[in-house]
Structure 1
Amino acid sequence: MKHPLPFKQSALLLTLTSTLLLAGCDKATPPATTTPEKAAIWPVLTIPVAQDPVIEQAITELMAGMTLEQKIAQMIQPEIRDITVEDMRKYGFGSYLNGGGAFPNDNKYATPADWIALAEAMYQASIDDSQDGSKIPTMWGTDAVHGHNNVIGATIFPHNIGLGAANNPALIEQIAEATAREVMATGIDWVFAPTVAVVRDDRWGRTYESYSENPDIVRDYAASIVRGLQGAAEGDFLSERRVISTVKHFVGDGGTTGGVDQGNTEVSESELYHIHAQGYVGGLQAGAQSVMASFNSWNGSKLHGDRYLLTDVLKDRMGFDGFVVGDWNGHGQIPGCTNDNCPQAANAGLDIYMVPTQAWKPLYYNLIAQVKEGVIPQQRIDDAVRRILRVKKRAGLFEKPSPANRPLAGKTELIGAQEHRAVARDAVRQSLVLLKNNQQLLPLKPQQRILMAGSGADNIGQQAGGWTISWQGTGNTNADFPGGTSIYAGINKQVSAAGGSVELSVDGSFQQKPDVAIVVFGEEPYAEGNGDLDNLEFQRGNKTDLALLQQLKAQGIPVISLFISGRPMWVNPELNASDAFVAIWLPGSEGEGIADVILRDSNGAVQHDFTGKLSFSWPATPQQTTVNLGDTDYQPLLPYGFGLRYGDADQLANTLSENSGDAAGSAEQVIFERAPRSPWQLQLLSGNERVAVTSSVQEFGAIRSRTFDNQVQEDARRFEFSGNANAGFSFSSTFPRDLRTFAGTDSQLALKVMRNGAVPDSVLLGMNCGETCPANQNIGPALAAIPEGEWQTLQISLSCLQEQGLTLTQVLNVFTIQSQGALTLSLADARLVANSTATALACQ
């Protein structure tokens, strides 16, 4: 299936618009009040892997001899940095994982032999019954999301957003097959892929993990990657050359309000199904054996604790009989839970707790106690363990040789194998989208004198993006990609062979004026919430790449822009400064695939035409963050399905508006209104320690917090500082937030506060973007000036804090109030306000 021709999308638009209109007819009912009968909106799926009576009987017999402790151990998944082989021998964990940036022996340069050695040691410990009495084999899960991306030398395929532009399910299956082989070569059984999010707001930092804003592509791709990883249900399903797949994150992770990672998806149930759940329709019908619960909430209900969705819908209605695994302490985000104590998740339908850090140990013992006390029914535990064992049986883990002795184990030639790199290079070619090509500048004749410039020209780490060796994809050099090819290296190889020349110069300077310049630039690597933005303007406030393009244009040099990004972005100025512009997304380790398309061969023939089409609509303004196919007012700069081929006339003017709009405008961001607003979380600080506020009344060291009624029930919070130690409260985010909307001189932090009793001379209000850029203001005198017992709004100018070095690009703590002395302070409202006309406190 290929994309429709550019701008000829009426049938698809009508279909998706009808779906969204239908979704709008169903009120967004909170899951807590939804009855199982409502699940009729979800389909009864045809699952291709039927339950085998022989396997089920074997599980029954096995479970009959298992203790409660052995069953709970099957439900615990710790991380390799937090357990030892002896821990595995003692507890017999059902599974374990390596998170992003975790390696055997904590060594980034661990060899395939090191990975196999750890897999073998953990396996042997799991089947050693000398301490735990269990011989059930464990299984290792890994985030191989664009190739076996944690292993040095592995093939790194383009990230999902680029693959969506290719719109080729057969290619996706090839990629999954190659990934499975490289994973099996290191002795690992289980892959946490595919991600099947359907992104609605491109500010989300995980947009590049989504194939498309079109749920049809996501559905078809989910089926392809599951087949590629696991094998077809009617073929070599979970053979010794296949791995267990995970369809994730269930459900609605791409639909959070504001594109906030781990935020709240506020949609009707019909939209949740028709838009956000289609990847599960595809993946489960291809036989996926595990589903990962999502961090996000649905209309306020955290998915890790949502029984309706995890059990009534996914398991009972849709017929999924594999297991549901959690995500990185996601259970701890359920109200009333902590990372080490959360019976609510098991009762909701979570089968495996992903519990990195040392929280795994108290969680294990708490679960045992909660079953004995009847908090968790024994039947629920038995169901979870049966599901886990069912998948292990289907995968043959009881019969297969140990990891070091499996057919592909130790075959280091599979890691970055040339046949895999050929697939990746083809994927790069198919993923490229040509947005502009003035006077048919592309394809280039290779016999020319070419200048290559920009930070991404010779930077495999930047072109690979996040989830590459390290979690964020940062800290890597080209030497960390043996066998890989940078964009410059690929172009230089072909140009030099054809008699041309390439000069590499990151800053655009040159020895001899070139015939043409290729500038490779774009986003730096990021993962998850670290990539969240508050609008889509590229390099807002620091347009160094635009300056480079304009510098070259001013010298009369034709400019080709190769734009690296994990999402569509507002790049009107950069488009205007370019004669040709290609969205290359995050192409991975095989940069030469780009040369194959933008260069002619030595005889002047086109090697490969552009075939990629936008699977995400391209924004017309920085604020157009939620433009999606099917919108009633659909006016992107470039629509879904757009993509030029050689010979096509340009459809973009060279004089696009460069007015980014008033980025601040009258924008507000609420921090506290009755309760903390996502993504901000309230924490108490005492001395050098901090703790999340999880109760209406909570005491921590030298500070006490409690809710009380101001206008409505429990809409304000009182903080009592004892004066026994430095203490405070803070509104912080799990990931740094982009607050550049509030960078203007008239932006303010507005706090509605009330004080009772005396105020110390020094009460510090601070914001910070990490340890290197804290900024503080003393608000003690301003608080003392407020009449006791009266509410008053304090306006603190953000420019005061910026003058101290605060940068608003990545803010971790939006504000903290600390006092060494005794103080009673109440808070009723807190928000950031851009272009405020209120009088702010003088800078201290």
Structure 2
Amino acid sequence: MMMPRISLITPVMIAAFGLSGCAQDLDSKTEQTTHAANTAIWPKLPKTVPVDKTVESKVSALLAKMTLEQKVAQMIQPEIRDVTVEDMRRYGFGSYLNGGGAFPNNNKHATPADWIALAEKMYQASVDDSLDGINIPTMWGTDAVHGHNNVIGATLFPHNIGLGAANNPELIEKIAAITAKEVMVTGIDWVFAPTVAVVRDDRWGRTYEGYSEDPAIVGKYAAAIVSGLQGRPGDGFLGDQQVISTVKHFVGDGGTQGGDDQGNNLDNEQDLFDIHAQGYVQGLGAGAQSVMASFNSWHGEKIHGNKYLLTDVLKTQMGFDGFVVGDWNGHGQVTGCSNENCSQSINAGLDIFMVPTNAWKPLLENTIAQVKNGEISQTRIDDAVSRILRVKFRAGLFDKPSPANRALSGKTELIGHPEHRAVARQAVRESLVLLKNNDGILPLKPSTRILVAGDGADNIGKQSGGWTITWQGTGNSNEDFPGGSSIYDGINDVVSAHGGQVQLSVDGSFTDKPDVAIVVFGEEPYAEGNGDLDNLDYQRGQAKDLALLKQLKAQGIPVVSVFITGRPLWVNPEINASDAFVVAWLPGSEGKGVADVLFSNADGKINHDFKGQLSFSWPNSPDDTAVNVGNEQYAPLFAYGYGLTYRDQTNLPLLSEEITQTANSVSKLAIMQGTVKSPWSLQLHSAEKSLTMTSNTAKLESVRVRTTDRFVQEDARAIHFMSSEISKVAIAHVFPEDLRAFNSKGSVLSFDMLLNSDVSNDAKVGINCDVACSQGVLLSKLVTNKDKGKWKTIHIATNCFANDTDNMAKVYSPFAIASKGPLNLVVSNISFNTNTDTALVHSCSE
């Protein structure tokens, strides 16, 4: 289905693109609080992958030989940072994973050879029966969600939101097949993709992982990407160039209340199916062999513990005979469970615990004990293990050579191969959406004098977004993308080749006045949880990019804006300050694809026209967060399916820039909420040395830091000062930030702390403080040894730091902690807040 073209913005044109194949109102029923189970809503799916009697016989024979301990080990999936090759030899885990930002040897720049070496060692240990008495090959699972995105040099495709705008299932299947090849080069068997969430509230930080707000597109894409990753059932299915695919996250993750990541979906069951399940209908119909359970709840019950959905619906009614894997310690969120203990998830239908951290060992032991005491039935264990073995036999893991000896293993020339990059560049071109092109300023002539401005212009990490090398996509530089290209690279190539002039200037300054300025700006990288918003106002309270656009316009320079974003945002002022406005989404490593469309050929003819059309409706206001095609009251700024081409001759009038006080007010600024927020980074300082933390662990002389889990994955930082040397851990940036919004009475620096040792007498917390934080607040004033082992929320009045920050006008480091002696603690949720209860605030007068 091709989305219709329109050239006007009016909400009254909804009828022109109707309900896009969805006859019912797709708006979530937020008032729904109860539901009645009705499995008849869900289809009985045909057996795309027929039952193979030979495979079933092998599964039964192997299962009969296995001990309980061996069976439960098949159901445990640890993470490479917390499991050793010897652990694999001892227990024979059925699978293992690398989480986002985890690398062989904890080395972000691990080579493909390093990945293969780890895969080979783990495989050989799994088939070594000298300790565990069984030789079942293990599987390695990875989040290759827009290419093999954990590996340096891999081809990175546009994120799903951009691919949805391209609306080209055939292209998606090619992308998936390329991803499978690059993954197979590194000896990995299994990919946690595709994400088939249907996003209903764009405040959700995973919006860019969704293809569309329209279930029809999501369904088509699910079938295409599963087919590309696994091959089509029949000859070549799960062969030497394919990986096992996972449709995720079952079910309803895109429909949580308020766009809250891991939140509560209150849709009735019919809407749960009609809106949120279409990716599973078509993905499983294409033969997907695994499904990942979702973090979210449905009517208050966590999916990881929901027997009705995992067993009665998915396995029994829909007939899914592969396995269900959990998400990152998702079982630990089930009522009555912990990361180390959760019979409820197994009984509900979970087949594999994804259990990173050292919780895997007690979980394994507790699960064995629960089977022995009857809390979990032997039948349920046998069903789970049969499903795991069935997929392994179908994937040929018992017959294929070891990872280092497989058909594509070690063919490093396939990582970032030119043909792969060409497909990614095509995807960039087709995903671009043109929202404004007043007076036909685009396409630009390549012989023009061009100023390229904005902090996204020459920044491959920013244009690639989250799930890029690191989990959050932060801490990367252009040097981390060998073979890739920035948007500026493409502009420079085109203009230089045709006699034009290009000047790159992030701040928009120039020597010779340009004919046109191309300004590339947008969201900083983020991933799940950390990208959640409370409204859609872009750069609320600090509109730096808008100031740059206005600065150029005031000098009489035409402006073409290229917007990097993981979701539709309210950017009316930025659109008004631009002559042309292009949404590039998160294009990945092949930024040159943008210039392919922005510029004409030398003779002025169109090189590549715009093809992208909005697969997400564009908001009319910052609070217009859940505008979806099919809603009873549907009044977006740019409707679903909107996207200009060079054939359209439409001038966009000035848009309203009025916003409510609620949307415009700033009462809280997150410094670290899950991730360290832009523009800051976490830095270690010790023995006159400094180190920026760019992975999940960092160590410098006498201090080390590691990401750790509190509420969700890696949302806290464990800090360990190891000696009497003065050391500091700071969140900082090379340039100061103006935070005067937080210098009034009642404004505080807030953070949560878990003290795991005695308080060092010389430890201090500060803002803009030196290595010793000599001007900071003594930690002993904030916590005592009685607080050890429990989380405490701390508030410090910002006026304590007035002299160090020019009343918060120049903040280089909004949070730092230093110690001269041993100290062990964990921090999370660092922010500035206003109107905090003064009784809870440390005022520095004590």
Partner of 1:487: 487
Partner of 1:662: 661
Aligned equivalents of 1:17, 1:632: Cα separation in 2:
13
- The answer to whether 1:350 aligns with 2:350 is yes
Q: Deviations over 1:48-95 (max 9, x none)?
A: 001111111111110100000000000000001111111110000000
Partner of 1:635: 635
Partner of 1:10: 15
Amino acid at match of 1:13: G
Partner of 1:410: 410
CA contact (8 A) 2:498 2:602 kept: yes
Amino acid at match of 2:18: L
Task: For residue 377 of structure 1, report the CA deviation from its aligned partner.
Answer: 0.5
CA contact (8 A) 2:541 2:666 kept: no
Aligned equivalents of 1:52, 1:745: Cα separation in 2:
71
Task: For residue 44 of structure 1, report the CA deviation from its aligned partner.
Answer: 1.1
Aligned equivalents of 2:87, 2:479: Cα separation in 1:
35
Alignment of 1:315-354 (within 5 A): 315-354=315-354
Partner of 1:789: none
Partner of 2:381: 381
Alignment of 1:124-135 (within 5 A): 124-135=124-135
Partner of 1:465: 465
Task: For residue 647 of structure 1, report the CA deviation from its aligned partner.
Answer: 3.1
Could you say what secondary structure the match of 2:529 adopts? helix
Q: Deviations over 1:518-560 (max 9, x none)?
A: 0000001111111111111111111111111111101000000
Distance 1:834 1:26, change over 3 A: closer
Q: Deviations over 1:416-460 (max 9, x none)?
A: 001100000000000000000011000000001100010011110
User: Considering only aligned residues, what root-mean-square deviation do their CA atoms show, in Å?
Assistant: 3.9
CA contact (8 A) 2:339 2:359 kept: yes
CA contact (8 A) 1:743 1:798 kept: no
CA contact (8 A) 1:17 1:632 kept: no
Task: For residue 605 of structure 1, report the CA deviation from its aligned partner.
Answer: 1.7
Partner of 1:698: none
Alignment of 1:343-742 (within 5 A): 343-650=343-650, 652-653=652-653, 655-663=654-662
CA contact (8 A) 2:190 2:243 kept: yes
Amino acid at match of 1:141: G
Moved more, 798-807 or 46-55: 798-807
Task: For residue 29 of structure 1, report the CA deviation from its aligned partner.
Answer: 2.5
Alignment of 1:165-314 (within 5 A): 165-314=165-314
Amino acid at match of 2:261: D
CA contact (8 A) 2:26 2:631 kept: no
Aligned equivalents of 2:330, 2:301: Cα separation in 1:
13
Could you say what secondary structure the match of 1:436 adopts? strand
Distance 1:238 1:837, change over 3 A: closer
Distance 1:17 1:279, change over 3 A: closer
Partner of 2:56: 56
CA contact (8 A) 1:315 1:321 kept: yes
Task: For residue 326 of structure 1, report the CA deviation from its aligned partner.
Answer: 0.4
Distance 1:547 1:421, change over 3 A: same
- The answer to whether 1:19 aligns with 2:30 is no
Query: What fraction of aligned residue pairs are identical, expressed as a percent?
Result: 66
Partner of 1:705: none
Amino acid at match of 1:662: Q
Partner of 1:711: none
Aligned equivalents of 2:416, 2:667: Cα separation in 1:
48
Could you say what secondary structure the match of 1:19 adopts? coil
Distance 1:589 1:274, change over 3 A: same
Distance 1:613 1:23, change over 3 A: closer
Task: For residue 234 of structure 1, report the CA deviation from its aligned partner.
Answer: 2.8
Aligned equivalents of 1:584, 1:509: Cα separation in 2:
24
- The answer to whether 1:97 aligns with 2:97 is yes
Aligned equivalents of 2:629, 2:166: Cα separation in 1:
17
Partner of 2:719: none
CA contact (8 A) 2:30 2:257 kept: no
Could you say what secondary structure the match of 1:45 adopts? coil
Amino acid at match of 2:655: L
Aligned equivalents of 2:477, 2:842: Cα separation in 1:
46
CA contact (8 A) 2:14 2:639 kept: no
CA contact (8 A) 1:746 1:797 kept: no
Partner of 1:39: 39
Deviation >3 Å, runs of 4+:
11-18, 21-28, 664-669, 690-693, 742-749, 771-778, 796-807, 832-844
Partner of 2:725: none
CA contact (8 A) 1:175 1:424 kept: yes
Could you say what secondary structure the match of 1:96 adopts? strand
CA contact (8 A) 2:438 2:651 kept: no
CA contact (8 A) 1:26 1:270 kept: no
Aligned equivalents of 1:26, 1:440: Cα separation in 2:
46
CA contact (8 A) 1:144 1:179 kept: yes
Amino acid at match of 1:280: Y
CA contact (8 A) 2:26 2:628 kept: no
CA contact (8 A) 1:163 1:172 kept: yes
Distance 1:22 1:425, change over 3 A: closer
Distance 1:775 1:283, change over 3 A: farther
Could you say what secondary structure the match of 2:582 adopts? strand
Tell me, which stretches of 5 or more residues in structure 1 are unaligned? 670-689, 694-739, 750-765, 781-795, 808-831
Tell me, which stretches of 5 or more residues in structure 2 are unaligned? 669-707, 712-738, 749-764, 782-794, 809-831
Task: For residue 336 of structure 1, report the CA deviation from its aligned partner.
Answer: 1.1
Could you say what secondary structure the match of 1:528 adopts? coil
Aligned equivalents of 2:420, 2:26: Cα separation in 1:
43
CA contact (8 A) 1:777 1:801 kept: no
Distance 1:281 1:28, change over 3 A: farther
Task: For residue 663 of structure 1, report the CA deviation from its aligned partner.
Answer: 2.3
Instruction: Normalising by structure 1, report the TM-score.
Output: 0.80
Q: Deviations over 1:452-471 (max 9, x none)?
A: 01001111000011100011
Q: Deviations over 1:660-702 (max 9, x none)?
A: 2212599999xxxxxxxxxxxxxxxxxxxx9989xxxxxxxxx
Instruction: Normalising by structure 2, report the TM-score.
Output: 0.80
Task: For residue 837 of structure 1, report the CA deviation from its aligned partner.
Answer: 14
Amino acid at match of 2:649: A
Distance 1:402 1:613, change over 3 A: same
Amino acid at match of 2:233: A
Aligned residue pairs total 734
Moved more, 833-842 or 339-348: 833-842
Amino acid at match of 1:382: D
CA contact (8 A) 1:332 1:339 kept: yes
Task: For residue 513 of structure 1, report the CA deviation from its aligned partner.
Answer: 0.5
Aligned equivalents of 1:188, 1:839: Cα separation in 2:
55
Q: Deviations over 1:241-263 (max 9, x none)?
A: 10000000011111111111111
Distance 1:23 1:425, change over 3 A: closer
Amino acid at match of 1:657: S
Partner of 2:34: 29
Aligned equivalents of 1:385, 1:662: Cα separation in 2:
56
Aligned equivalents of 1:667, 1:154: Cα separation in 2:
39
Task: For residue 45 of structure 1, report the CA deviation from its aligned partner.
Answer: 1.4
Distance 1:257 1:121, change over 3 A: same
Q: Deviations over 1:138-191 (max 9, x none)?
A: 010000000000001000000000000000100100000000000001110000
Task: For residue 798 of structure 1, report the CA deviation from its aligned partner.
Answer: 9.4
CA contact (8 A) 1:307 1:348 kept: yes
CA contact (8 A) 2:766 2:801 kept: no
